[in-house]
Amino acid sequence: YQQNPKTYTIVKQLLAEGDAGELQKYFGSRMEFGTAGLRAAMGAGISHMNDLTIIQTTQGFCRYLEKNFSDLKKRGVVIGFDARAHLSSGGSSKRFARLAANTFISQGVPVYLFSDIIPTPFVPYTVTHLKLCAGIMVTASHNPKQDNGYKVYWENGAQIISPHDKGISQAIEENQEPWPQAWDDKVIDSSLLLHDPYAMVNKEYFKDIQKQCFYRNINKETNLKFVHTSVHGVGHKFVQLAFKAFDLSPPFAVPEQKDPDPDFPTVKYPNPEEGKGVLTLSFALAEKDGARIILANDPDADRLAVAEKQESGEWKVFSGNELGALLGWWIFTCWKNNSRDTRAIKDIYMLSSTVSSKILRAIALKEGFHFEETLTGFKWMGNRAKQLMDQGKAVLFAFEEAIGYMCCPAVLDKDGVSAAVITAEMASFLATRNLSLSQQLKAVYDEYGFHITKASYFICHDPKVIQQLFDNLRNFDGKNTYPKSCGRFKVSGIRDLTTGYDSSQPDQKAILPTSKSSQMITFTFANGGVATMRTSGTEPKIKYYSELCAPPGNSDVEQLKKELDELVNALEKHFFQPEKNKLQRKTE
């Protein structure tokens, strides 16, 4: 008996053609459930996102939650979804969210299912606000259009970390046969266990982010104009509401991109991190309407890219590190000047991931608050922020270079909606001082020291080559020796988070958690440079992140940039060896 005629037809067709290789692709291995949940293409078979794999995943997750929470049936879970859909397999984020809701409701668990599309940060917000056991967001964020994903939050309002991923994964294996009524999602509509948090969250979230609004009078008066794009995703309505909550005039929305469209017709990849290509239509609208600043969300609105028109008429797209520096400076300054927070400065914290710029460390050292770095990914920053908050500390801000910002303690994950409106308030305030964002960024660097970053990646589809490349770095001059230099640059320290080695610690053991399953080595250089090489958890890439930190007062930026370029060239040549390893460069 077929439950989904579309995926059934795909499989029947494959069987008729007798193509074992293709069948292997669909049924060879189950999608792996990791700390980021699931992410894969929509389609038939256990290696794809479809009705069956969503049911199986949710059954496992439900059993795992029952084991961990005796009050699951009292507290319940929240489920949200974006606007993704896949015609040929009949999969869509909304359909997957309803099937997941049905699974929990069949076991007597209350479900807060959003009735319409929402930004990803609304799910962690709801977990915290309603004190629920867990949250699920069905989204593939800025991935290509055929993909979807299933992202999981724990009761603390942060994304799950190990060992929950292992526990859930095992429970999925043990609950593969669909329960009775698993496919019949219509029964939930009449269930007393189904609640819709949409109206409540749309009121409460915008009330909560107003605690970060400090210059309402300036916002009301400003003649600065903004363009906003949601890149065919969910962000449009919510950024409009955020501007209203801050008393700012609404931004001009890019008309071709403001409505959700699962085909993302105007962009090659719906990822604002890719820079100018995604912003072409925004630039055109900004020129037409005389707007100086562009705010771009990714399709699930948890990230934010910002561009500003320079005196020269050129557009500058800020990197994640540059916007992190600006927001960190702004949020700290607002706390210092306006906050009703009575906590001492020693109880104030900011966080960033270990591959992001160390600019917050420099600001913290000079101003007297605490800075901590975490492993890569917001799951680590969210969990650490919650620990600190539970100890009575205030976490003002956290960011990662991949344009993710947490500006508001009500959401313990990256949030592109609050980041967009806080950036707009900052720009409006600076305009009253005749300063642009770029000028203020320079002022931050003048005061705290220039931090220049450069990041890129190589594509490599052969895991053996990747393993060999990192083995070579660990046995560079004979067994168990790391490189002592990279071209003309002397290496002064090494931290290997795959093995747990850190040359700078007295016991040579790294402080941050280590993971044998992913590669990550950080080199510190005698010239003040830092470079990290790591594998990506979701793509066939070896990434690198480099930074040159200069003490305040060293203002020869061009010289610093030249030095960093040379360091990066040496890194590519000696440590990546792209020709020997047949690595494919990132194509601009």
Give the DSSP H or E segment for 98: helix 93-106
Residue type for position 130: L
Look at residue 200 and tell me if it is in a domain: no
Average pLDDT over residues 233-253: 98
DSSP string covering 452-521: EEEEEEEE---HHHHHHHHHHHHTTTSTT---SEETTEEEEEEEETTTTEETTSTTSB-SS---TTS-EE
Whether 70 is catalytic: no
* Average pLDDT value over all residues in the chain: 95
DSSP symbol at 534: E
What's the rounded Cα separation, in Å, for the pair 399 and 588? Answer: 25
230 exposure class (CB count in 10 Å sphere: 0-12, 13-18, 19+):
buried
Judged against a pLDDT cut of 70, whether residue 588 lies above it is answered with no
In this predicted structure, what is the pLDDT of residue 587?
73
What's the rounded Cα separation, in Å, for the pair 218 and 25? Answer: 57
Q: Are 571 and 502 members of one domain? A: yes
What percent of the chain shows pLDDT beyond 90?
91
Q: How many domains does the chain have?
A: 4
Look at residue 157 and tell me if it is in a domain: yes
Q: Are 174 and 114 members of one domain? A: yes
The enclosing domain of 74 has a CATH number of 3.40.120.10
State the pLDDT confidence band at 192, using cuts at 50, 70 and 90. Answer: very high
What's the rounded Cα separation, in Å, for the pair 524 and 490? Answer: 9
Q: Which of 47, 89, 93, 141 is catalytic?
A: 141
Among 301, 317, 333, the domain-final residue is 317
Give the DSSP H or E segment for 489: strand 489-496
Q: Are 344 and 436 members of one domain? A: yes
pLDDT tens for each residue of 398-431? 999 999 999 999 999 999 999 999 999 999 999 9
Q: Are 259 and 182 members of one domain? A: no
pLDDT tens for each residue of 328-353? 999 999 999 986 777 789 999 999 99
Q: Are 82 and 162 members of one domain? A: yes
- pTM here is 0.95
Q: Are 166 and 36 members of one domain? A: yes
Q: How many other CB atoms are there within 10 angstroms of residue 439's CB atom?
A: 14
